[in-house]
Each structure stands twice: as structure tokens, then as C-alpha cells.
Structure 1
Amino acid sequence: MFAPLKEYISQKATLTDADYAKIEAVCIYKKLRKRQYLLQEGDVWRYNAFIAKGLTRFYSVDESGRENIVSFARENWWTGDRASLLTGEPSKNNIDAVEDTELVMIANTNFEKLCKEIPAFNDMVNAIINKSFITSQSRIQAAIAFTAEQKYLDFIEKYPDLSVRVPQAMIASYLGITPETLSRVRKETVKKH
């Protein structure tokens, strides 16, 4: 199961066989069935998790029991609760599998050691964090300024593969709209195009 992570890294950084051996030596492999938790609210997150296969969602549940999806992660993406990882505090979020999922996980202590020992790996990690920050800013801007239709069109433009893999109710939650509003927006979008 290391092969997908190795392929991913090779596209972003130049590492030696010895570097890959160091990384592989600390990898933990995990399989999740659909709807199985990777992280539950109240637990402390201690890993960096790469999705080798499948799809997860990162979400919280409010007082009324409504799920609020913050993000999805699919093949060749990373997932986890960065706030819990960095602070050591219990997570306020959940991560579960939308589809059967296979992950390559590295405990954060080992991950930090790899970053110190392999400069090219560290550079790659920093580039990923920067890209993630930009994506988060873009998502916040869309949530604040876009209409329901603009949010949906932005989602399907940025993530065409997710729009067919993720149930509509989850897409609505991610967009911050009701499933009924999403249904109406989708019908209107079809009429216009």
C-alpha cells in the first residue's frame, strides 16, 4: 500500500531510495469501511494521513444534530485534524469514510523527524500546507460571498469527480445550504445549460 504514497511524493519531490525506505519504515496502513470513523470528536489526532484509495469527509455535528462538512479528501489528498494535531487538544470534529478507504498514516513524531532528516520531503510538506491554506481562504470567501448557485457551480468546477461520488445531502452540507436548495439549484443549472 506504500506505492501510491511513493508515486505521489515522486511527482512533487526528488528523493533517494534511502529516503523512501525511511518513510516506508514508519508507515501505518489502515483500511476503513464506508461510514467507519478515522477520527471521532473528543479524540486527539496524532497522524498525517494520506488517502491511497477512497474518500473521507471531515465534519462536525452541531447541537441540533446537523452535520457540517468542512472538507472531503480523496485519493492523493491528505486528511486529519490539524488543530488537534498541533495543539494536542481533543478534536471537535469527525472524519469518516464516504467510500471504502485505504490510508497510509505516519505518526506525527515520525513525520516531523522525516521533515528534519529529508529536506526535499520538508519542502514538499510546506508546499502542501501553503496550497491548503490558499484553498481554505478561497472556500471561506465563497461561503461568505457566493449565492447558493455560485457555491454549487464553484464546487462542480473545482471538484467534478466529487460531485458524482458524494451524496447530494453531503454536498449540500459542505456548501452550507439545505438539500432542498441544492435540488432547486441543480434543476435551475440544468435548465440554463
Structure 2
Amino acid sequence: MVAEFERYIKENLKLSGGDLKLMLSVAVERIVRRKQLLLEEGEVCRHKIFICKGLLRTYRTREDGSEHVMMFSPETWWATDPESLNNQTPSLYYIDALEDSEVLLWTKKDFDMLCAQIPALKAYSEKLISINLNLGRQRIFSALSATAEEKYDEFVASYPNIFARIPLHMVASYLGVSLKTLSRIRQAQLKR
């Protein structure tokens, strides 16, 4: 698990060996089984999660029980509910594992301490927040203006390496289309 994180850090940040060691000293390694929850609606989010291996999803449910997938988080991605984590308020989201996964967890207190002691980590974290805000805006714009076919194309472009790992009903949920519509789109694309 640690080797994957070290490789990620070396590719994305310039940290000293001591800074990396400090990060790992407060990280909790965890193996998460398929379908296991890391966050449940109503709980306060306690961790920033780095995915070393596997696949997580973040989703909400409606009163009728239908699920709406907000994001998928494969290897070398981060997952959390930032509003719940930062404000220490109950989450509206679930985070669960779609595959057996290996993750590293940092509490808010520990991650805040790391950002205070490692300026490069703070800058990188702020960069990731900015990227995610931009992606969120793009996703909202797409949801409001794109056709189902355009949403599908954007999904395949955004998640090219995990498409085959996700059940189609979850892809449809992410896109905001019915499973029937998604099947029609896929069939039309195969004929092209």
C-alpha cells in the first residue's frame, strides 16, 4: 500500500524523505472489502482517503431509495466529503468500495497538521480542491446542457480505465439517464 502512495507523491509533489515519512506516520492503512462503507449518510466524515488499490464511489440516495452516483475514485485518487469533513457536520453522502480496495486514511486533525508543516502538501491540496471545483462546475453544466450521448462520451473520456469495472446501472446513475437509455447509446456507438 505504502509503495503506491510513495510513487504517487514522487510523481506529483516534491517532498523530502522526512516529509513523506511524516505523512505516512499518521496515515492509517486499511483494507476495504467490496460493498463495505467508509462513510454513511448522517455520519460526520472523519477522513481524507487515498485509494492505493481498488475503486470507491461517492453517492447519495433519495427518499425512494434510488442512488445517484456523484463520483468514482479509482487508484491514485482521493475521496472524502469535504463539507462534512471541514465543518464536522453530518454527511449527505455514502462512500463505499466497488471492489476490494486498499486505502490510506488521514484524520482532519492530522491532515491539517501535515499541511501546516509541509507547505508543498498544502499547495497541492489547494490545487486538487480547485481542480475538483472546476470539474464539479463542468459536470453541472453537462447535466444541464449535454445530450445523453454527450454525457456518455464525457464519462468514457473521464474514466477510460475503469469503465469496464463499473456496473452499467451505476454508470447510468452517474450520467442521470435510465439503464435503457444507456444501453441504447452503447448499441448506437458500437454500430459506428
Same fold (TM over 0.5): yes
Equivalent in the alignment of 2:154: 154
Residues of 1 paired with 2:140 and 2:94: CA distance? 20
Residue 182 (structure 2) aligns with: 182
SS of 2:162 mapped into structure 1? helix
- Misfit runs of 4+, over 4 Å: none
How far does the alpha carbon of each residue in 1:78-101 deviate from its partner, in whole angstroms, 9 at most, with x for none? 001111111111111101111111
- Normalising by structure 2, we get a TM-score of 0.97
Provide the C-alpha distance between the structure 2 equivalents of 1:153 and 1:14, rounded to a whole number of angstroms: 34
Q: How does 1:75-114 map to 2 (within 5 A)?
A: 75-114=75-114
Q: How many residues align?
A: 192
Gaps of 5+ in 2: none
Instruction: Report the equivalent of 2:10.
Output: 10
**RMSD of aligned Cα (Å):** 0.9
Partner of 1:125: 125
Q: Distance in 1 between matches of 2:72 and 2:140?
A: 15
Q: 1: distance between equivalents of 2:60 and 2:120?
A: 34
Give the superposition deviation at 1:21. Answer: 1.3
The 8 Å contact of residues 86 and 108 in structure 2, kept in 1 or not, is answered as: no
- State the distance in 2 between where 1:174 and 1:16 align: 39
TM-score normalised per structure 1? 0.97
Once the 2 structures are TM-superposed, how far is the Cα of residue 3 of structure 1 from its aligned partner? 1.7
- Aligned residue for 2:140? 140
2:64 is equivalent to residue 64 of structure 1: yes
Residue aligning to 1:49? 49
Which one-letter code corresponds to 1:74 in the other structure? P
**Mapped partners of 2:142, 2:114: distance in 1:** 35
Q: Which runs of 5+ in 1 are unaligned?
A: none
SS of the residue corresponding to residue 45 of structure 2 reads: coil
How far 1:124 sits from its partner (Å)? 1.2
